[in-house]
C-alpha cells in the first residue's frame, strides 16, 4: 500500500487540540498511581511539526486551531500544561513548532514508563525516529499499526493506553480499526483505547461509531463540532471525534470541562 497522507498539512488544527488533550488527560490520570505505565501510539506521525514549513503554510490549518487559542486565557490546569509543553518546544513566544501526539506522550513519560510508537510512511518515520531520539524509554518502529499493537500487548506494566490516529486513506479503516481494537482488547482488556476520527460530510464516521458501540455499548464518544457543514460550498472536516474504550474514571468529566471552555473559541 502506498501512503500519501502527511500530517504536517494539518498540524495544529482543532483535531490535534482535542487529541492532545485526550492524551494529556488519560496520561495524567494514569500517572496518579506510582506504578509504571505503557503507552502505545499506533499512527505516530512526525513527533514535531514546523508550522513555518511550506506544507503547513499551504493549508494553514493551524489558523483554525492552535492559533485561535494560543493567546487566549483558558483557565484549566490541563490546558496550562499543554500550553507549557508547546512553549517548551518553541524558541519564541509564538507556536511555530507544534508537538504531535507522540511528542506530547514522550514528554510526559516518567523514568519507569515506556512507550512504543509506529509509523508506516518512510519519510514520516524518519522524522519520528529523529524527534524521539532524546527519549530513552520510547521505542519507534516503522511497522503497521496491526503488527505493532499485537506484538507489544499485553505489556509487562499491565496499566496503560493506546492512541490510534489513522489518516483514513483507506475507507475500510472506519470499520477495520475498531475491529482490530476488539481483538487487542482480548489480549489487554484493562487498557484505555482512543480512536480518533474526522467528521466529514460523507458521514463515514457513523460506521465507525456503530462498530464501536457494537463492541462495547459503554464506549465514550466525544465530538467537537467547530464548523457549519450545511453552509453552501463547505468542504473538509467540520468536527473531530474520539471513541474511547475504558475511559479512566473522571477523565470524561475533565474532557467535558475542557470542551466547554475551548470549543467556543474554535468556532
Ligand atoms: C493522522 S497522522 C498521525 C498524526 C500523529 N498522531 C500526530 O498527532 O502527530 C496518521 C499517520 O499514520 C501513518 N499510517 C497510515 N497507515 C498506517 C498503518 N497502517 N500503520 C501505522 N501507521 C500508519 C501515516 O503515515 C501518518 O503519518
State mean pLDDT over 201-219.
97
What pLDDT, in 10s, does the model give residues 170-203? 999 999 999 999 999 999 999 999 999 999 999 9
Rounded Cα–Cα distance for residues 12 and 97 (Å): 9
Decide if pLDDT at 261 tops 80. yes
CATH number of domain containing 130:
3.40.50.150
Q: Is residue 94 part of a domain?
A: yes
Question: Does 1 map to a domain?
Answer: no
Report pLDDT digits (tens) over 222-252.
Answer: 999 999 999 988 899 999 999 999 999 999 9
Q: Cell numbers of 250, please? A: 473522571
Look at residue 97 and tell me if it is in a domain. Answer: yes
Q: What is the mean pLDDT of the chain?
A: 96
- 30 CA → ligand 1 middle, Å: 24
Residue 16, in any domain of the structure: yes
Q: Name the pTM for this structure.
A: 0.98
Domain with 206 in it: 7-266
Secondary structure (3-state) at 243: strand
Q: Which residue has the cell 490516529?
A: 165
> Is the model more confident about 233 or about 166?
166
Task: Tell me, yes or no, whether 26 lies in a domain.
Answer: yes
Q: From ligand 1's centre to the CA of 66, what distance in Å?
A: 20
pLDDT band at 167 (very low <50, low <70, confident <90, very high): very high
Q: Is residue 138 part of a domain?
A: yes
- The binding-site residues of ligand 1, defined as CB within 6 angstroms of any ligand atom, are 3, 5, 7, 16, 19, 42-45, 100-101, 118-121, 124, 144-145, 165-167
Report whether pLDDT(94) > 80.
no
Q: What is the pLDDT of residue 1?
A: 61
Whether residue 103 has a cis bond before it, omega within 30° of 0:
no
Please check the confidence at residue 92 and state whether its pLDDT lies above 90.
no
Tell me if 207 is assigned to some domain: yes
DSSP string, 193-215: EEEEEEEETT-THHHHHHHHHHH
Does any domain span residue 120?
Answer: yes
Q: How many domains does the chain have?
A: 1
Q: Which residue among 12, 13, 119 is best mutated to probe the pocket of ligand 1, counting the most ligand atoms within 8 A of its Cβ?
A: 119
Calculate how far, in angstroms, residue 201's C-alpha sits from the geometric centre of ligand 1.
22
Amino acid at each position: 500500500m502506498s501512503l500519501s497522507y502527511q500530517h504536517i498539512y494539518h498540524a495544529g488544527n482543532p483535531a490535534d487540540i482535542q487529541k492532545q488533550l485526550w492524551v494529556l488527560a488519560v496520561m495524567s490520570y494514569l500517572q496518579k498511581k506510582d506504578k509504571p505505565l505503557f503507552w502505545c501510539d499506533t499512527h505516530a506521525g512526525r513527533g514535531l511539526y514546523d508550522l513555518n514549513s511550506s506544507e503547513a503554510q499551504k493549508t494553514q490549518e493551524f489558523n483554525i486551531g492552535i492559533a485561535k487559542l494560543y493567546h487566549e486565557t483558558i483557565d484549566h490546569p490541563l490546558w496550562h500544561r499543554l500550553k507549557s509543553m508547546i512553549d517548551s518546544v518553541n524558541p519564541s513566544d509564538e507556536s511555530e513548532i507544534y508537538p504531535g501526539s507522540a511528542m506530547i506522550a514522550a514528554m510526559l513519560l516518567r523514568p519507569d514508563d515506556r512507550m512504543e510508537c509506529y509509523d508506516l510512511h518512510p519519510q514520516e518515520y524518519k522524522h519520528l525516529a529523529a524527534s524521539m531520539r532524546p527519549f530513552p524509554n520510547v521505542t519507534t518502529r516503522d511497522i503497521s499499526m496491526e503488527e505493532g499493537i499485537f506484538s507489544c500487548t499485553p505489556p509487562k506494566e499491565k496499566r496503560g493506553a493506546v492512541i490510534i490516529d489513522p489518516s483514513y486513506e483507506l475507507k475500510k479503516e472506519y470499520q477495520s480499526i475498531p475491529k482490530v481494537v476488539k481483538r487487542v482488547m482480548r489480549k489487554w482488556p484493562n487498557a484505555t483505547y482512543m480512536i480518533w476520527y474526522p467528521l466529514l460530510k460523507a458521514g463515514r464516521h457513523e460506521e465507525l461509531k456503530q462498530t464501536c458501540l457494537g463492541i462495547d455499548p459503554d464506549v465514550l464518544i466525544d465530538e467537537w463540532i467547530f464548523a457549519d457543514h450545511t453552509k453552501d460550498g463547505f468542504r473538509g472536516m467540520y468536527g473531530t471525534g474520539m471513541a474511547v474504550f475504558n475511559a479512566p474514571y473522571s477523565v470524561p468529566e475533565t474532557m467535558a470541562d475542557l470542551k466547554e471552555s475551548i470549543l467556543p473559541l474554535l468556532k
